[in-house]
Amino acid sequence: MPPKTLELLPAHTEQWAQLQKNLARQCLHHALLLVAPQHGAVSDFADRMAAAILCPNAKQPCGECKSCHLVTLDEHPDLCYLQPDKAGGAIKIEQIRDIQALLYTSPQLGNHRVVLIHPAEKMNVAAANALLKLLEEPPDGVIFILLAEQVSTILPTILSRCQLWRFPSTEILHSDYLSLGEGYTTDSERGKLFSQLPVILQDLLALMGNKISVCSLAAKWLSYEINDLLWLVYLINAQMINYRLNNFQYEKSWTLALHQLASHFHPLVLFRQLDELNRLSKKLNQNISMNQTLILENLLFEYKKK
């Protein structure tokens, strides 16, 4: 994986200015919840935020010291990342316990340790409760940075102990929802899935043309990580709604296939699918056990109903 650049996106200048003020006043909250519609952009901000907190030379970060260099390489001894062990998995209590002893020791390179939890909604109940105890009595010099897509996915007890930072979606062309997928790097899970957009659109066209059955397509889609797949299908639905209601035109490689697919559905069908996708995503983010084959079959049957 290439080193991180720690660059600041123009859309995040307001939040960055606030961080610099807090650092200058030495009044940074010990727990920060960063909420944004897509993780790709805000995770870059979180890395830059962590680097600034750990940098001994400036509040930018300076980008030249040993600390900044180690952050870009994901090798900083005072920066801990908590994330699922596998795609679609949960952040478990064992991961919280693994870092607890470390957090009560002195930092190796400076005055702070940073714990970056991404995505925070993936913590199971036991992990969330273990984190809550740390937030209630935080170790000296430790800053927790949590990343989430929706405030509603975070336990109220954790939310009450965090300072909330909201981030806008990266600026996109009006109603061009699928451009959100272009914000992910090609080596990220969502970036890899987004590269399969033409294939997924052709799959749906084959379904509507009776060239593949619901069960066969559901079985094929089991190879994708379910949370990311629902995210991409949501974007496809949102884009089709705008095509049907507003007839927007975009010069993209997938435009023709999406227009052909949108012609099969009344907008009300697509709105119902958005509601169902939201419901399913919320359950999965709460780590509620669900049969993935059944999820996909039910979703695809709804398209066939029209």
CATH 1.20.272 segments of the chain: 177-305
The DSSP symbol for 119 reads T
DSSP state of 10: G
Determine which of 21-25, 30-34, 78-82, 104-108 has the lowest per-residue pLDDT on average: 21-25
Could you give the dihedral angle defined by the CA atoms of residues 120, 125, 129 and 130, in that order, rounded to the nearest 10 degrees? -80
Residue 208 CB coordination number (10 Å): 17
Query: DSSP state, 264?
Result: T
Residues 255-276 have a mean pLDDT of 89
Confidence of residue 173 (pLDDT cuts 50, 70, 90): very low
Please tell me the distance from the alpha carbon of residue 250 to that of residue 43, in angstroms, as a whole number.
28
**What does the pLDDT read at residue 89?**
85
Which runs of E-coded beta strand occur in 123-210? 142-148, 163-166
Fold observed for domain 10-166: Rossmann fold (3.40.50)
State mean pLDDT over 295-305.
92
For residue 75, give every residue at least 6 positions away whose Cβ sits within 8 Å of its Cβ, in sequence order, or none.
none
Name the pLDDT band for 169 (thresholds 50, 70, 90).
low
Q: Which two tokens stand for residue 168?
A: 């806008």
Calculate ∠ Cα 10-45-120, nearest 5°.
135
pLDDT in tens, 189-221: 888 999 999 999 999 999 999 999 999 999 999
| CATH architecture assignment, domain 177-305 | Up-down Bundle (1.20)
pTM for the structure as a whole? 0.63
Could you say which DSSP state residue 4 is in? P
pLDDT at residue 2, rounded to an integer = 57
For residue 39, the model assigns a pLDDT of: 45
For residues 54-76, give the mean pLDDT. 90
3-state DSSP helix/strand/coil percent for the chain, to nearest 5? 55, 10, 35
Query: What are φ and ψ of residue 95, in 5° steps?
Result: -70, -35
Least confident of 50-59, 240-249, 292-301: 240-249
Grade residue 68 by pLDDT with cuts at 50, 70 and 90.
Answer: very high
Chain-centroid distance of CA 196 in Å reads 18
Q: For residue 171, what pLDDT band results from cuts at 50, 70 and 90? A: very low
Range picked from 27-41, 218-232, 233-247, 271-285 for highest mean pLDDT? 218-232
Phi-psi region of 175 (alpha: psi -120 to 50; beta: other; left: phi over 0): left
- Indicate where the chain has its CATH 3.40.50.300 domain(s): 10-166
Mean residue pLDDT of the chain comes to: 88
- Where does the pLDDT of residue 174 fall: very low under 50, low under 70, confident under 90, or very high at 90 and above? very low
State the Cα–Cα distance between residues 219 and 296, nearest whole angstrom: 8
pLDDT at 269: 87
Give the residue, 46 or 1, on which the prediction is more confident.
Answer: 46
**For residue 248, what pLDDT is reported?**
59
Q: Is 15 exposed, middle or buried (0-12, 13-18, 19+ CB in 10 A)?
A: buried
* Averaged pLDDT for residues 154-160: 90
Average pLDDT over residues 88-93: 88
Whether residue 109 contacts residue 54, with contact meaning beta carbons closer than 8 Å, is answered with yes
Q: Are 37 and 149 in contact, with CB atoms under 8 Å apart?
A: yes
Per-residue pLDDT at 38: 60
